[in-house]
């Protein structure tokens, strides 16, 4: 991995962390509503996995979905605007936290039904096979999803028909408040792949390089051999299941001990040990990320609310096969008759303080990285 790529990965993880911290604040301030599931602690899984995707590959994920959109390059301004229910939001204020979609980036986002998107991932794999391309589909879900019937149906057909799908369990040990011990008869979730003859692997989900290595292998298998893989990434969420969850089902000691292997802290330390980055470099990245978040907050504050007319938009696709007179009498169809709208286009973020370009002198204690791992 070259220096720029390493820096980009570090920056993406930190951007997700800062994004989520800012979301928590905005939620407390009442600017974000509904359910808010934070990705803090799990950043290495999404960033590591998505870094191995090709631009034309697909991904589909569950409702703890902020990290995937950011890692796949979505603009945090559009995501924050979505969370605050603005018309400039990536889903035009129709989806919220659980429904970040970015179709131009191949991101079919945020599914709110546990396990509900796994058969869809198989369908995307089927479509790829039918078209005869060498794309792959990545499918992210939590440990809770493996107990749903949809998981088993999806794995079976993926193996049966040789579908290029990589299924990634983000095992953060709790399906809402129920620990794996109380939910799964088998504790090593990846072994469930054996039932369907699906290649399997477990990986330390706190180590971005380990995640990258596992995904590199699985994606290669999908692309070349058209075979699915089940990966279990062992990770941890620092916050509750959602903002309303105080997390009383686990001890403070457990959370604190897991935070010692924080993915951002670990990766930052590794970058410095390899003498490619200084503390100042990491600080500069953090400063830039914080500036980008503030910019996103400003953009969101200045964004308009959705118009009342938009209530009926986006239900149906305009169609020459619908009887026009009937369509005109139905508000949702009437809205569909109008032209498709152009999504909000924004200029890309320009870093305020670029990190130093060359190899750096000896490492300093990883304080900036350590603070990055801290839960506020």
Partner 1 sequence: MALLTMREALNAALKEEMTRDPNVFILGEEVGAYQGAYKVTQGLLAQFGEWRVRDTPIAEEAIAGVAVGAAFIGLRPIAEMMTFNFSLLALDMIVNHAAKYRYMSGGQIRCPMVMRGPSGAATQVAAQHSQGFESWYAHIPGLVVVMPSTPKDAKGLLKSAIRDDNPVIFMENEILYNLKGEVPEEEFHIPLGLGDIKREGKDITIVAWSRSVITSLAAAKTLAEQGVEAEVVDPRTLRPLDEDIIFDSVRKTGRCVVVEEGWRYAGFGGEIADRVQRECFDSLDAPVIRVTAADVPMPYAKILEKAYLPQPERVVEAAHQVLYR
CB 353 within 8 A of CB 270: no
Q: How far apart, in whole angstroms, are the C-alpha atoms of residue 271 and residue 276?
A: 6
Q: Which helix (H) or strand (E) holds 232?
A: strand 229-234
The helix or strand, by DSSP H or E, that contains position 139, with its residue range, turns out to be strand 137-142
The DSSP-derived string for 168-206 is EEEE-SEETTEEGGGT-S-SSGGGGGGGGT--EEEEETT
Which of 18/94 has CB closer to partner 1?
Answer: 94
Judged by CB, which is closer to partner 1: 45, or 105?
A: 105
Q: Binder to partner 1 among 298, 302, 319, 356 (CB under 8 A)?
A: 319
Candidates 64, 92, 237, 276; binder of partner 1 (CB under 8 A) is 92
321 lies in the binding site for partner 1 (CB under 8 A): yes
**Least separation in angstroms between CB 109 and partner 1:** 7
Distance between CA atoms of residues 267 and 31, nearest Å: 32
What is the three-class DSSP state of 60? strand
**Residues forming beta bridges with residue 34, ordered by sequence position:** none
Q: If binding is defined by CB under 8 A, does position 125 make contact with partner 1?
A: yes
165-171 sheet: strands from edge to edge: 107-111, 58-62, 137-142, 165-171, 229-234, 200-204
Contact present, 58 and 272 (Cβ < 8 Å): no
Residue nearer to partner 1 on the CB measure, 87 or 371:
87
Determine, following the binding rule CB under 8 A, whether residue 103 of this chain makes contact with partner 1.
yes
From 9-17, 149-157, 185-193, 206-214, give the range in contact with partner 1 by CB under 8 A.
149-157
Interacting residue with partner 1 among 153, 217, 245, 295 (CB under 8 A): 153
Q: Does 73 bind partner 1 (CB under 8 A)?
A: no
Cβ distance to partner 1 smaller for residue 41 or 109: 109
Q: Residues 289, 18: contact at Cβ < 8 Å?
A: yes
Residue 59, H or E segment: strand 58-62
Least distance (Å) from partner 1 to the CB of residue 85? 12
- Residue (161 or 254) nearer to partner 1, CB: 161
Question: Closest separation between CB of residue 130 and partner 1, Å?
Answer: 5
Interaction between residue 130 and partner 1 (CB under 8 A): yes
Among 47, 128, 355, 360, binds partner 1 (CB under 8 A): 128
CA distance between the termini of the chain:
32
CA pair distance 93, 338, nearest whole angstrom: 19
Q: Which is nearer to partner 1, 274 or 319 (CB)?
A: 319
Binding region for partner 1 (CB under 8 A) out of 99-107, 264-272, 283-291, 365-373: 99-107
Nearer of residues 7 and 122 to partner 1, judged by Cβ: 122
DSSP letter (8 states) at residue 339? P
Among the listed residues 122, 145, 219, 363, the single contact to partner 1 using CB under 8 A: 122
Q: Should residue 226 be labelled a site residue for partner 1 when binding is judged by CB under 8 A?
A: no
3-state class (DSSP) for residue 76: helix
Query: Which of 10, 58, 68, 190 contacts partner 1 by CB under 8 A?
Result: 58
d(CA 209, CA 232) in angstroms, rounded, equals 15
Query: What does the binding site for partner 1 look like in residue numbers (CB under 8 A)?
Result: 58, 60, 89-95, 99, 101-103, 108-113, 116-131, 149-150, 153-154, 156-157, 160-161, 313-319, 321-323, 325-327, 329-330, 332-333, 340-341, 343
């Amino acid at each position: 991995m070259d220096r720029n790529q390493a820096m980009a990965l570090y920056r993406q993880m930190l951007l997700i962390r800062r994004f989520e911290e800012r979301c928590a604040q905005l939620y407390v301030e009442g600017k974000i509503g509904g359910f808010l599931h934070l990705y803090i602690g799990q950043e290495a899984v999404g960033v590591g996995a998505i870094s191995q995707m090709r631009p034309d590959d697909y991904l589909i994920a569950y409702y703890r979905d902020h990290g995937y959109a950011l890692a796949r390059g979505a603009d945090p301004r559009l995501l924050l605007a979505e969370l605050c229910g603005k018309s400039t939001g990536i889903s035009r204020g129709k989806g919220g936290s659980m429904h970040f979609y970015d179709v131009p980036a191949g991101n079919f986002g945020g599914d709110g039904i546990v396990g509900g998107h796994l058969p869809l991932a198989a369908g995307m794999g089927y479509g790829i096979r039918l078209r005869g391309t060498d794309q792959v589909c990545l499918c992210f879900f939590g440990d809770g999803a493996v107990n749903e019937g949809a998981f088993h149906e999806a794995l079976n057909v993926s193996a049966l028909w040789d579908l290029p799908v990589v299924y990634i369990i983000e095992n953060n040990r709790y399906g809402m408040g129920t620990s794996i011990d109380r939910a799964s008869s088998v504790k090593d979730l990846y072994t469930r792949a054996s039932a369907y003859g699906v290649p399997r692997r477990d990986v330390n989900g706190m180590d971005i390089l380990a995640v990258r290595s596992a995904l590199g292998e699985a994606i290669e298998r999908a692309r070349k051999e058209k075979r699915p893989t089940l990966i279990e990434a062992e990770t941890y969420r620092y916050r509750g299941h959602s903002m309303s969850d105080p997390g009383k089902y686990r001890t403070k000691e457990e959370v604190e001990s897991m935070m010692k292997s924080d993915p951002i802290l670990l990766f930052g330390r590794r970058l410095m040990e390899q003498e490619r980055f200084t503390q100042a470099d990491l600080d500069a990245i953090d400063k830039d990320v914080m500036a980008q978040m503030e910019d996103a907050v400003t953009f969101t504050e200045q964004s308009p609310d959705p118009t009342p007319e938009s209530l009926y938009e986006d239900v149906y696709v305009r169609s020459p096969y619908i009887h026009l007179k009937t369509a005109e009498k139905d508000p949702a169809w009437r809205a569909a008759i109008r032209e498709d709208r152009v999504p909000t286009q924004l200029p890309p973020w320009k870093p305020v303080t670029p990190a130093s370009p060359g190899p750096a002198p000896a490492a300093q204690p990883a304080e900036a990285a350590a603070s990055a791992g801290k839960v506020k």
